[in-house]
Each structure stands twice: as C-alpha cells, then as structure tokens.
Amino acid sequence: MTIHCPQCNAQDIIKSGFAKNRQRFNKCKQCNYQFTSFSKERGKPLWMKLEAVLMYMSGMSMNATAKILGVSAQSVLNWVRDFGEANYEKPTPESAVVVELDELWHFIQGEKNKLWVWKAYDRNTGRLIDWELGSRDSRTLGHLLERFSQWQITVYCTDNWKPYQQLLENHPDAFHVISKKETIAIERNNSDNRHWFARFHRRTKVVSKSKHMVDLSMALFAKFRVNGSIELLRNWRLTLLS
C-alpha cells in the first residue's frame, strides 16, 4: 500500500521515529510534514471473522476456534455475537398444521442453574418456528404459546410433561396429542442442536455466561442449520479469499 503525505499528497516518504522498537511515524521529504502511518488496516479481516462463525456453527467451541485462528476467545465471542444479532430472525407467522413441542436443557452461569430452551417445530415444513428460554414451568411455556395465537395451528404434539396439559387445554381450536412417538422429529432436531453447537453438548463443563448468547445461538441454528443452509456463508468466505 502506497503511503501519501496527508498535507501535500507526495509519495516521497521516509521513516522517522520509533516507539517501543516499532516504526510509528513517517515524514514527507517534500514538505517535512511528520505523521502517523496507517499503512495497515486495523482489526482482523472479514474472512477470518466469517471463518470463526462457520467454526462455531460446525461444532467447535469458542476457545478451540480462537486457538486455531490465533486470536482471543473474547474476539471470537464478539464476532459471533455481532453476526448473530445482525442475522436474528424467526419465521413469519402463517399456517402450521402440526407443531411439535419439546424442551432442551442447558446450563447458565453455573452447573447448578439449568436453562431450558422450549422449542416449536413445524412438522410439515421442517422449520424451527419459535423458541423461548427460561425455567421448565408453565410461565415460560405460556410466553411461547402466547405468540402462537398468530399461527393457525391445528395439532400440538408433546410428551407427558404437566405444563403442556395445563396450558394447551386453553387452546380449544387445536388438538393436543400426548405421545413420544409423535415428537420424534423435534427430538431429532434437539440432537442436531447439540451436534452442531458445542455450547449445547451434553457435557457438564459447557456453561453459558449469557442468556443472550444462548438466544443468538438458537437463532443461528434455526436460520443456517434448520430453516436455511450454511452453504451461503461458505461461498461468501470463498469469495472473500479469492
């Protein structure tokens, strides 16, 4: 990258001055103007940030990703968080004939604190249409069911967990089926959730510090692993590297 003098735009630049054994200043031979050089862009390149996101969505932990890329784990967390916030979305309410409901457990702030992810899976389209984070009680499930008033749901399929029976009685327009055989699809989705995201692996040492990051991880899982394809991101990374 050619350095130009900010004052006279000349290219005849010489080095002038050191700080902590590093070249920090440039001087224009034509007008003697001394200035700080910004010959290198600050921060990591976009392809590396996208690479970190792809690794995170492919089952690698943030610490492992940071070691491979030679950056800090905090940097990886920042990149994933920024990408997740920019791509956070849930399907627009429409008709969903058969919806399967189930819960996925996780740890938040310590192994003694369980965080439950209540999920709703549309059997006909194969989409993850919504989720809610909280306790394994009727209150958390109620928040999820409130949003389903915009969907035209005909059948709910759940296991025999008591909150389902209590709250779905208030949805007379939808038929409630209680059977493990009717929740196979969402159980498979839970397995994919744990496979593709190290955050949800079945290991007691995997603990999230932030509920917000769990929510963003669910959004990335839904958009790029269930409802869409991660190939778009891979192609984008190849374009940046070419």
Mean pLDDT check: name the lowest of 27-31, 108-112, 172-176: 27-31
Is 105 in a helix, a strand, or coil?
strand
**Cα angle 110, 114, 116; round to 5:** 140
pLDDT for the residue 39: 47
Q: What is the pTM of this model?
A: 0.81
User: Is pLDDT of 38 > 60?
Assistant: no
More confident site: 140 or 171: 140
pLDDT for the residue 26: 75
Distance CA 33, CA 35 (A): 7
pLDDT for the residue 36: 65
What would the pLDDT profile of 11-36 be if each residue is shown by its tens digit? Answer: 787 777 665 566 556 778 888 877 66
Tokens 């209680």 appear where? Answer: 178
pLDDT for the residue 2: 62
Maximum distance among all Cα pairs of the chain, rounded to whole angstroms: 84
What would the pLDDT profile of 130-141 be if each residue is shown by its tens digit? Answer: 999 999 999 999
What would the pLDDT profile of 183-240 be if each residue is shown by its tens digit? Answer: 999 999 999 999 999 999 987 677 899 999 999 999 999 999 999 999 988 888 888 7
Per DSSP, the chain holds a count of helices (H) and strands (E) of 8, 10
pLDDT for the residue 18: 66
Mean pLDDT of the chain: 88
Q: Alpha helices of the chain — where are they, by DSSP H?
A: 46-56, 62-69, 73-86, 138-147, 162-168, 184-196, 211-221, 231-241
